[in-house]
Structure 1
Amino acid sequence: MRHPEYQYLDLLAQVLESGDERVDRTGVGTRSIFGAMVRFDLSNDTVPILTTKRVYWKTAVKEMLWFLTGGTNIQPLLRENVRIWTDWPLAAYRRETGENITQEAFEQRIVDDDAFATRWGELGPVYGKQWRRWLGSDGEEYDQIADLIRTLRENPASRRMLFHGWNVAELGAMALPPCHMVYQYHVTSDGRLNCLLFQRSVDLLLGAAFNYVGATALQLMLAQQAGLRPGELVWVGGDVHLYLNHLDQAREQISRKPRPFPRMKLLRHAKSIDDYRIEDFEVEGYTPHAAIRAEVAV
């Protein structure tokens, strides 16, 4: 059987070989295709943590746990040594103050100074806000995750088990509109929880690997909370692109041979979706190739 990671490597090759090249929002430029799908079977604890480069899976899981808090400030992330959201508030700070502060100094001020973090660490109403505190036209806040878990438990045959982050009224206030924007769930007759994630835009070299891990971690948590078993993760991409300064790195990754996927387990049964911690996740058998460095386009 062909290693499932080749689905991702084939996508890299397709974008390299036939992607449409154009200038993008960041000014870096991309090569992209429109419309792609990959599928991963999670039923035997195997998880799609890519092996053709090292993926810092704990960072992806910590980010997902932060989303679930409903938070929108980077201070809790930085206190967990997660720096993947710093670029946007740092760019805003430099632009508005004219101070050419280093990223390290900016992050340290966010960690140490609550008032500074409140002013400069906010990302606007991004993922967690929409997932846990969607503001309706009636002025009420809606917890999409709580509603999803309730439906998984009480009406698992429903075709309305989903949540999303594309709140049109609040897009302009977000540091970055949601890329992984719709998560839909499906329960089989024998109790397996499947997920389909639609991602409107994906940085294929840097972002996809984190999105696979984050979605997997969430699927494991939801399955546990609903008394189900993990099934299949189906990932669908809209604008699937490589930045033009990532092409050599993509070629390097394609040249590597995948190794066996690791296994991920939850070490305890959390009381609720809000009770999980990074220490609850264990990954076994992860022996990847070396990391591949690349710059994030902001």
Structure 2
Amino acid sequence: MDPALQSRAPQAAAHDHFEAQYLDLMRRIWTHGHERSDRTGVGTRSLFGANMRFDLGGNAIPLLTTKRVYWKAAAREMLWFLTGDTNIRALVAQGVHIWTDWPLESYRRATGDAIDRDAFEARIVADADFAARWGDLGPVYGKQWVDWPVYEPVGEGLFRQRDKGINQIAELVDSLRNNPGSRRHIFEGWNVAELDRMALPPCHKTYQFFVADRKLTGLLYQRSCDLALGVPFNIFSAALIIRMLAQQCDLEPGELIWNGGDVHLYLNHAELVETQLARTPSGSPKLHILRRPDSIFDYAIEDFEVRDYAPQAHISAPVAV
């Protein structure tokens, strides 16, 4: 990293801005992180254990301003999770590409076809049978959130999976409404028995909620944190579901508390990191929810509006698969 960039970074961070903690964490990892090999073969600089807090009062939303975050893609992904769907077809039909690389890579390995992403997605949308064969991600996020599998005994040592699993989100809403003081307001994606069937085990794995003074605060524990590309989406999405739950439960939004386990920057993200750290955050984005649907599962992308968001230019970087 350019020493001059490091020396002027504190001035660039605008430390009274909500984004400063993110930039400080990025700088700390890039300058002092441990260089490690990783699953993707790209290599990272990593630190273990990090925390950020974002006040969600006054419609505030933690959208980074030092680069554009495509919040509608993150919102569409969250709505997709809540359906329990695990096939990318519905996402790519909406122009959301964030999950395509995993099934695309699987298809290329299995078939030897060097198809490009656009052609692969076009075939996923046009051909339901092709999508069913190649577009499914396994029992990722939404499947666990709204249909966690339950098994019942059918004989000695024999079990059968029930047709309908546990809807953790529905149970969470009921618990927040009727037992706000509970310490069990949790939903979880890390189903040990099904990890090997998932295209990618859940990174943002555990969500817990806390009600005090009629405010809803949410805590996200994220085991694996791609700070440059993934975390900007993750903190927006976590704040979004806090806002949705608060509205459904007649509460005010409190804070988002983000806890990261292995927080890392990929070594091939140097240009992104150094460009972003040279920028100064500014502005106060606001998220407005335009209607209150009948349930947490009935929101649509048109229900969300972000105002006062004037980010600096998008910074592209490769995704490590």
TM-score w.r.t. structure 2 length? Answer: 0.91
Task: Find the counterpart in structure 1 of residue 217 from structure 2.
Answer: 194
Q: Which runs of 5+ in 1 are unaligned?
A: none
Residue type of the partner of 1:163?
Answer: F
Aligned counterparts of 1:224 and 1:250: Cα–Cα separation in 2 = 36
* Match of residue 115, structure 1, among 116, 119, 129: 129
Deviation of residue 137 (structure 1)? 3.6
* Match of residue 235, structure 2, among 201, 206, 212: 212
Task: Find the counterpart in structure 2 of residue 48 from structure 1.
Answer: 62
Q: Does 1:61 align with 2:75?
A: yes
Deviation of residue 136 (structure 1)? 2.4
Aligned counterparts of 1:186 and 1:272: Cα–Cα separation in 2 = 20
Aligned length: 297
Residue type of the partner of 2:72?
Answer: K
* Match of residue 184, structure 1, among 171, 192, 208: 208
Task: Find the counterpart in structure 1 of residue 182 from structure 2.
Answer: 158
Aligned counterparts of 2:118 and 2:36: Cα–Cα separation in 1 = 33
Contact 1:69-1:128 at 8 Å conserved across structures: yes
Q: Does 1:251 align with 2:251?
A: no
SS in structure 1 at match of 2:113 = coil
Deviation of residue 248 (structure 1)? 2.4
Aligned counterparts of 1:239 and 1:169: Cα–Cα separation in 2 = 22
Deviations 1:61-117 (A, max 9, x none): 100000000010000001111000000000000000111111111000000100100
Task: Find the counterpart in structure 1 of residue 5 from structure 2.
Answer: none
Deviation of residue 217 (structure 1)? 1.1
Aligned counterparts of 2:267 and 2:37: Cα–Cα separation in 1 = 10
Pairing of 1:276-295 with structure 2 (within 5 A): 276-295=299-318
Aligned counterparts of 2:171 and 2:111: Cα–Cα separation in 1 = 42
Q: Which runs of 5+ in 2 are unaligned?
A: 1-14, 153-160
Deviations 1:183-208 (A, max 9, x none): 000001x2100000000001100001
Aligned counterparts of 1:182 and 1:284: Cα–Cα separation in 2 = 29
Pairing of 1:64-143 with structure 2 (within 5 A): 64-138=78-152, 139-140=161-162, 141-143=165-167
Deviation of residue 39 (structure 1)? 0.2
Identity %: 58
Deviation of residue 247 (structure 1)? 2.0
Task: Find the counterpart in structure 2 of residue 171 from structure 1.
Answer: 195
Residue type of the partner of 1:291?
Answer: H
CA radius of gyration, larger in: 2
Residue type of the partner of 1:144?
Answer: Q
SS in structure 2 at match of 1:246 = helix
Deviations 1:260-282 (A, max 9, x none): 12100100011111110000001
Aligned counterparts of 2:235 and 2:315: Cα–Cα separation in 1 = 17
Aligned counterparts of 2:286 and 2:104: Cα–Cα separation in 1 = 36
Alpha-carbon RMSD:
0.8
SS in structure 2 at match of 1:196 = strand
Q: Does 1:3 align with 2:9?
A: no
SS in structure 2 at match of 1:44 = helix
Residue type of the partner of 2:168?
Answer: Q
Contact 1:50-1:261 at 8 Å conserved across structures: no
SS in structure 2 at match of 1:283 = strand
Aligned counterparts of 2:297 and 2:61: Cα–Cα separation in 1 = 22
Residue type of the partner of 2:38?
Answer: D
Deviations 1:221-242 (A, max 9, x none): 1111111111100000000000
Aligned counterparts of 2:116 and 2:125: Cα–Cα separation in 1 = 14
Aligned counterparts of 1:38 and 1:136: Cα–Cα separation in 2 = 35
Task: Find the counterpart in structure 1 of residue 250 from structure 2.
Answer: 227
